[in-house]
Each structure stands twice: as structure tokens, then as C-alpha cells.
Amino acid sequence: MKEIVADKSLIAYCGLYCGACKKHLSGKCPGCQKNVKASWCKVRTCCMSHSFASCAECRLVPPSLCEKLNNFIAKIFAFVFRTDRPASINFIRKNGYALYASEMTERKQMAFKR
């Protein structure tokens, strides 16, 4: 298994940090940015269509109200793993991608916890 390293290119469009994901660390997933099979993800599709690196660059809808960021699958993921992606997006907006990657690396987490 790879070691967790701070790499802003491993921040998913939705704000999850792939650099701390067990599937990514074990080599089973390339991470959101490089995962061409993730065409099912509405957040990824939306960000790509607007040329956003993540939802943090979107000013159309606040993260807490975005229907794509808060869809059914995302709500299940947030419940099971107790993650707060809107908090992660807000952190990126205020502090930038590099600091977020460092923070998640230090915490060994994919996102802020609820």
C-alpha cells in the first residue's frame, strides 16, 4: 500500500481527498481526476463542464444547497463515513487546495468529519 502524501491533484471534484482513500492507496483506483470510468458522477460531470477543478470554484450554488453534491448516493456516503463534503469545499475556498491536501494528509482522512 502506498503512503499518504499531500498532493492537490488528488482532490476529487466533490472535495474528497483521494490521497487518503484505501482504494487509491492500494492501487485499485486512480483517483477522481483520472478516473474515466466515473462518468456516472454528476458532480464530476458538472465540474468538468464548467472547467472547475472542484466545487470550490463554483459560485452558482452554495455547497450546502447543491443538488449534485448532495444527491442520494452522496448522502449515504456522508452518513456511513460521517463526512462533510460542503465543509471540505468551504475549507478549500478559504484556504486553497494545497493546504486542504496537507490537512487531509495529516488527519489521514478523505474529508472533514461531521
Residues 7-19 have pLDDT tens digits of 999 999 999 999 9
How far apart (Å, rounded) are the C-alpha atoms in residues 23 and 25? 6
How far does CA 7 lie from the centroid of its chain?
13
Average the pLDDT over each of 25-34, 64-73, 83-92, 100-109 and give the range with the smallest value: 64-73
Residues 78-108 have pLDDT tens digits of 888 889 989 999 999 999 999 999 999 999 9
Identify which of 43, 42, 52, 5 has the alpha carbon closest to the alpha carbon of residue 24: 5
Considering the entire predicted model, what is its pTM? 0.88
Mean pLDDT of 65-87: 86
